[in-house]
Structure 1
Amino acid sequence: MSDDLGASKNSAYAPATTVYHFQNLSTAFNDSSSFPQPYHYPPDIILVTRPTYTAFFTHYHRLVTESNNQFGRLLESCKPPNDPGLPRRRPIIYVDENEHHFNCFLIALYNWSSQLYKPDTGVFSHVFNLVIKYGFKVRSVFSPSSGGFQDLVRTAETEALRMYTLAAHWDFEELAVSASRYVLRVADTIQNITDDHAETIGPRYLLRLIQLHETRKARLKELLLIPPTLHVDDTPACARPQRLSVLRAYGLAAGYVVWEKAAGVTVQEIKSILFGNIGTSISCPVCSDAVQRNIDHVLDLWSQMKDTI
């Protein structure tokens, strides 16, 4: 089989049967890795990061498919293999990249999950830059159905505002929508947005986040500050002072939720707070039923509230 590869200043070549002795070898991308379809055949190109000289065994067609610049111009002189999977001389391409960022970038290209490597929002920010640098589109590599997108959403659970800021900066609508749900769950998030955050987020996404927060807080107040309707007439087990005590307890618990909890407070949290403070202390069964109906009504309406931008 004739050699179908060119050479470049960042390249070297070795036969497919060569035993490699790199300074570091990627645990995710090597000759023993199981690659997804349609890249189930042995890797045919080796990328080596500098200065750590970590080797990543990958596939030519994955690196150039969807890339609009031949993988950052690095593969312009490399011709595609005539028959992927057959032994051939494998090019070794050197890239001046942080090996952790580059690893997470390649994982996203192959539609894998990078959770094993615990990337945070800062790492994903670097990965997004690599996606563009090597000719891909962020919203294509991290499509909502991809493993990489699920990684982003999982990271948003613990780094909500940072991930929302990243999504807004890249105009990544799907990610911004998913991250906004977690931003709401952090108390005082809106008040703690710094000037740098606001500038990076931009006016459109910042306004949408504030509007979502304010709309939900107003609706929460509206729902919870309506007291339950208790029976009017006294009974042997429940006189007016007891009913006033129930209303007072309900008002205190509802007020706590309105003023202390974030706009993303969940149905379960509201239920726990209300029942925890008044549900077990009501001796009158009629009042208890009325409070239960009121809470159920509040929870039902709150569960229908939009919780993303």
Structure 2
Amino acid sequence: MYHPPTRLCDSACIDILDFQPQPFNIQPGWSASSPSFGPNFEVSGTLPDITIVSGDRICYYAHSRFLLHSSTNAFGGLLRGTPPPSSLEVAEPGAALQIALHAIYRMPCAHLAPSLESTEGAIDALLAWGVDARALATPHSPLFSLVLAAAPRAPIEAYALAAHFRMDALAVAVSAHLLGFDTTALSDALALQMGPGYLRRLVEWHQMRLARLKEICLKPPAAHAPTPGCGRDDKGALMKAWAYASAGIVWEARPGTSAYQLRTSFEKAAAGVVCSECLTMLHARIEEVVQEWSLVPAPPDEDIPFGFGSLSQVFGPTFEFAGLLPDAVLVVEDQASFYVHSDRLSQVSLNAFGGLLDGTTGIAGPTFVVPESPDTLNITLRVVYELSCAHLSPSLDDIESVVNALIKYGIPLDSVTGSPDLPLHALILRHAPERPIEAYALAGHHGLESVAVAVSAHLLAYDTAALTNELALKMGAVYCRRLFMLHQDRLLALRRIVLRPPGTHRPTLVCGTGADGMGRLMRAWALVAAEVVWVASPGMSAQSLQTAFARPGRDIECIECLAMLRAHVQEVAREWSAVKVSIPAVFDVRRPLS
């Protein structure tokens, strides 16, 4: 039984549980069904209720509710009507239809090994059926993996397909296979398919790499101090050999020239050099060339979430801050580059950004290789620049990596979390509804006071008896005590509020002060109050209290007693709503970064 692994699919599967499959009628001329989408293809225990017949008469069995949930136009209008039809015929061939269904159901389809033409036909069909194909082509999804698998054998065609449908992450991943492609051989048809934007990005990326290669190679080795065996005139042999090797490399350079090719070409220059010190300077320069070329941005073998050419979409060469362009580059482990402003980093850091900005300078401006992942560095820099992270969805583990990076680079945590409108504060708080105790432990562990206060409001229903030693140790004794005190104080306040009975009215002919008069109201209130205190929890709602204390009114006949009861119930609800719902803030929080 197959269960699609996405939130969208899960909700769709819930819907189709109410749908009863109908028997299928195989029409004359229909061929056998698809192995993956046969009559017994289950989703969350539900069998198919619709047959889709391809243009070459192959049957595919699916779930109409699932297809409708995935579509914005009733599957191209084919599933309009109540109930939807039990069968429909489409013009697409089976090769394209099965790719489209695999993509919709998020089922792996690399084993199909279809042609790119079939994949393109499937994407065209998805769009016609109102399915967001780009949402189905996210990194590591079946459709993404299918196109990427074709890149080694048909890189430019796969790139043109990704570009045509504006699947940017897929275009980035495929472009890693285009380092050896000769852009002068690009046909008009492929250029039209990918469009001017992606064509320009491909050509400019190649040109940038070639220009950088030329710049690196043409810088000669440094000269050593004159010696008796090698004077100033004798060094000409080394420079001549280097210039000759550089000219050969630049003449035949390709964007995909490897570090091994560079090393081999320049080592040939050592054949005519006899001075040991010249050879030392030559080999040192070769190592510099290899290192500098390896830092030139090139898309990695896998996707990165920042855009074309391993450059962050935000932190690119044109990223302005305070009217200034970047003057430093941070390069992460997979060679994704982040262009930043050294003044900004120095301004917010207490340790010269982990010691990177202590005066060390690279070629054409400071370039620093950092060990963080692209996602971690992206969020870290967004926090430093106070840029929104609302569109990102990092896990709490990822957020903790960001916090550790901020500590490493000397960013005071209270300055980037001290206000609810700061990005890091908002990112942690987003996890509070679903993982409140973990988010609170993270905040407590790092002393994120304002975050801990905000998250604690989501812990009113948390059973502190279930708190593990690991989480208690992580949040620390102070924040652990404050959480327990919050629960204890709310329970004490609730007891104080509910144990105070309603007021009494003046005795009347029908309702005196005896057991059959106002005493009945007091007994009823006391019984409900005892029950509430017995089952009380810090997260009990005001609505629950109102419902519980409304019960005595069913047996009260005196109009004035009822009025006193209702007034007191409203007062109880108001008082309980006014009790503090979060731990008290006890530390002064620094102002945000400016």
TM-score (normalizing by structure 1)? 0.74
Shift of 1:109: 1.6
- Contact in 2 for aligned 1:26/1:54 (Cα 8 Å): yes
Note closer, same or farther for the CA distance 1:233–1:266 as it changes in structure 2 (3 Å cut): same
Distance 2:153 2:233 in 1: 46
- Secondary structure of 2:297's aligned partner: coil
2:254 corresponds to: 262
Matched, 1:228 2:221: yes
Residues 49 and 271 (structure 1 numbering): CA distance in 2 closer, same or farther, change over 3 Å?
A: farther
Among 156, 160, 164, the alignment partner of 1:165 is 160
1:102 is aligned, of 97, 100, 113, to: 97
1: CA distance between counterparts of 2:71 and 2:59? 21
Q: What do residues 283-305 of structure 1 show as CA deviations (whole Å, max 9, x unaligned)?
A: 76544432332122222222222
The structure number with the bigger radius of gyration is 2
1:219 aligned to which of 203, 212, 224: 212
Alignment-mate amino acid for residue 290 of structure 1: M
Structure 2 residue 291 is the aligned partner of structure 1 residue 296: no
Matched, 1:142 2:137: yes
Give, in angstroms, the shift of residue 247 of structure 1: 4.8
Cα distance 1:59–1:281, how it changes in 2: closer, same or farther (>3 A)?
Answer: farther
> If the length of structure 2 is used for normalisation, what is the TM-score?
0.41
Letter of the 1:166 counterpart:
L
**Residue 72 of structure 1 aligns with which residue?**
76
Q: 1:293 to 1:147 in 2, by over 3 A?
A: farther
Match of 1:185, SS state, is coil
RMSD between aligned residues: 3.6
For 2:66, the aligned partner's letter is R
Q: Give the 3 Å change call, closer, same or farther, for CA 233–156 of structure 1 in structure 2.
A: same
Corresponding letter in the other structure for 2:281: A
Q: Cα–Cα, structure 1 residues 197 and 240, in superposed 2: closer, same or farther, change >3 Å?
A: same
Alpha-carbon offset, residue 129 of structure 1:
0.3
Assess if the C-alpha contact under 8 Å between 2:113 and 2:146 holds in 1.
no
Q: CA shift at 1:245, angstroms?
A: 5.6
Deviation string 1:222-271 (CA, Å, 9 cap, x unpaired) is 101222225454577x8999966655554444444333242133435534
- Alignment partner of 2:70: what SS? coil
Distance 1:5 1:219, change over 3 A: same
Distance 1:168 1:145 in 2: 18
Given candidates 172, 192, 212, the residue that maps to 1:199 is 192
Pairing of 1:1-309 with structure 2 (within 5 A): 14=23, 23-30=31-38, 39-77=43-81, 79=83, 91-186=86-181, 188=182, 190-231=183-224, 233=226, 247-271=239-263, 273-275=265-267, 277=268, 286-307=277-298, 308-309=308-309
Give the 3-state SS of the residue equivalent to 2:79 in structure 1: coil
SS in 2 for 1:148: helix
Within 2, Cα distance between the matches of 1:151 and 1:99?
A: 16
Give the direction of change, closer, same or farther, for the CA distance of 1:135–1:227 in structure 2 (3 Å limit).
same
Give the 3-state SS of the residue equivalent to 2:47 in structure 1.
Answer: coil
Question: Aligned to 1:136, what secondary structure does the other structure show?
Answer: coil
CA contact (8 A) 1:46 1:58 kept: yes
Alignment-mate amino acid for residue 124 of structure 1: T
Matched residues in 1 for 2:126 and 2:272: separation? Answer: 58
Contact 2:48–2:62 (CA under 8 A) maintained in structure 1: yes
Q: 1:50 to 1:155 in 2, by over 3 A?
A: closer
Which structure has more relative contact order (CA 8 Å, sep 6+)? It is 1
- What's the secondary structure of 1:158's corresponding residue? coil
Q: 1:129 to 1:228 in 2, by over 3 A?
A: same
1:260 maps to amino acid: E
User: Which amino acid in structure 1 is aligned with residue 186 of structure 2?
Assistant: I
Instruction: Give distance in 1, aligned partners of 2:202 and 2:39.
Output: 46
- Once the two structures are TM-superposed, the CA of residue 140 in structure 1 deviates from its matched residue by 0.8
Give CA deviations for 1:136-173 in whole Å, capped at 9, x if unaligned.
Answer: 11211112241221222232233222222222322332
Q: How many residues align?
A: 281
**Corresponding residue of 1:9:** none
Residue identity opposite 1:262 in structure 2: R
Alignment gaps of 5+ in structure 1: 7-12, 81-89
Is contact 1:14–1:92 with CA below 8 Å preserved after alignment? Answer: no
